Amino acid sequence: MTDLGTNAGRCSRKELWHQLANAINLVAKQDQISWTVFGIFWAANALLLGSLATREVGPNRSTAILVALAGVLTCSVWSVIQKRAVDFKSFYDAVIHRLEAQLLGGNLDVALSGRLNDKLLHTHVRGLGARSLMKLCPFLALVAWLVALKYFVFFFS
């Protein structure tokens, strides 16, 4: 394996621009994957939650415990898959950062990389980042299912 920093000098500018386009496409695809995973797992959690409210009196204790355990399992899997998807997006962003630094030199005010063009980024993008939200939501849903499980095991009548 070779390091981009070592080989960047051996590639032509045309090849580097081509790699930058490839990296930008990969970020877009990975972003789509991340949001798809996010949506699918929220839907799965909603279905599980909805299954607890199927009767007027609610589910029996053993059914509720099984559904809560399924919720815990779903959130655990979601967390691992979502983290990996977001981490790949971060990797592709790092590649873009390195390619743009090599190609743009001092003209960083047109860089797409937030690390290179941080002043413009922070002027227009504020608040909780999507990546943080994507990593936080599975954890929050997991905590909610664990609380529900504790309720169904110890306090369900």
Q: What is the DSSP letter of 105?
A: T
Give the separation between CA 111 and CA 131, rounded to whole angstroms.
20
Question: Residue 59 above 50 pLDDT?
Answer: yes
Give domain limits for the chain.
10-154
- 0.85 surpassed by pTM: no
The tokens describing 39, both together, are 């949506």
Report pLDDT digits (tens) over 80-127: 998 998 899 889 888 888 888 888 877 777 777 777 767 777 777 777
Give the separation between CA 140 and CA 55, rounded to whole angstroms.
26
Give the separation between CA 131 and CA 142, rounded to whole angstroms.
18
CB 86 within 8 A of CB 135: yes
Of 40, 10, 23, the C-alpha closest to 98 is: 23
